Amino acid sequence: MTGEGSGPAAEVGDWLEQRLFAKRVVQLSGPLDDQAATDVVARLMTLDAVGDEAVELRIDSATGTSAAALAVVDVIDLLGVPVRAFVSGRVHGPALAVLAVCDHRTVALHASLRLAEPAVGFRGSARELGALAAAHRDEWTALCGCVARAAGRTVEEVAADAAAGRFLTPDEAVEYGIADEVARRDAEIRPLPVRRIGFRPGGLP
C-alpha cells in the first residue's frame, strides 16, 4: 500500500507498489485500519478481475482493528483466485485472521506471530459506550471464529489464547493450523489446487 507524502521516497514507494502489483503481489504492511483494508481489498478485487493466476499477499502488521480484518477476510473468501500469504515480519492481533484464511500460508523462519485481542478505546454517552462495546465483542468473536475454522480449533480456544497474548514460533504456527509451511532453503513448493474463477454467487456456501 502506498503511504501518504511526497518527494523521492514517495515516488520510489509508488514505483515499487506498481511493480509488485504487475506481478500480482499485494502488500499489507503497518496498522490494519480501515484505510489499509480498503486499499488491500481494492487491489485483491482488481487482480481477481484481470487475471486467473494466484495472488501473493505479503503481510507485516502488528496492530489493527477487528472490523478492518473482517473486511479483508470476507473478500479473500469470495475471490475466485487463490491467495498465497507470505509473512516476513510480524503478524499480531487481527491480521492473524487474514493470514489464517489464505489458501496457502508461508511464514519466514524468524517471523513473529501473536494471537492478541486489539486494544480499543471508546468515547460517548453511557448508551453509546455500551453499543460500541457490544459491537466490538461481536466483531472480535467473528474474527476468532475465522481463525478457529481455518485452524480446526474451537472459538473458545482461540479466544483464550488471544486473551493470554500467546506468541507462536513459525513452527508452532504450522502446528496450530494458521500456517502451512516455514520458509527454509529446503522448503518444498507445492502447486495450489485450482479454484473456480470469479466471485461466488450468493456469498459463502
Beta bridge partners of 191: none
**Grid-cell match 466483531, residue found:** 139
- pLDDT(199) > 50: no
pTM exceeding the 0.75 threshold for the entire prediction: yes
Please tell me the distance from the alpha carbon of residue 137 to that of residue 81, in angstroms, as a whole number. 31
Domain 10-183 falls in which CATH fold? 2-enoyl-CoA Hydratase; Chain A, domain 1 (3.90.226)
pLDDT of residue 134: 78
How large is the average pLDDT for residues 71-99? 96
Per-residue model confidence as pLDDT tens digits over 151-191: 999 999 999 999 999 999 999 999 999 999 999 876 554 44
Nearest to 69 by CA among 163, 141, 151, 157: 141
Average pLDDT over residues 5-33: 77
Nearest to 61 by CA among 29, 36, 85, 100: 29
Cell numbers describing residue 80: 475466485
134-155 pLDDT, tens digit per residue, is 777 899 999 999 999 999 999 9
Contacts of residue 181, defined as CB under 8 A and 6 or more positions apart, other chains included, come to: 105, 106, 107, 174, 187, 188
**Residue-wise over 142-151: b if at least 16 C-beta within 10 A, else e?**
bbbebbbebb
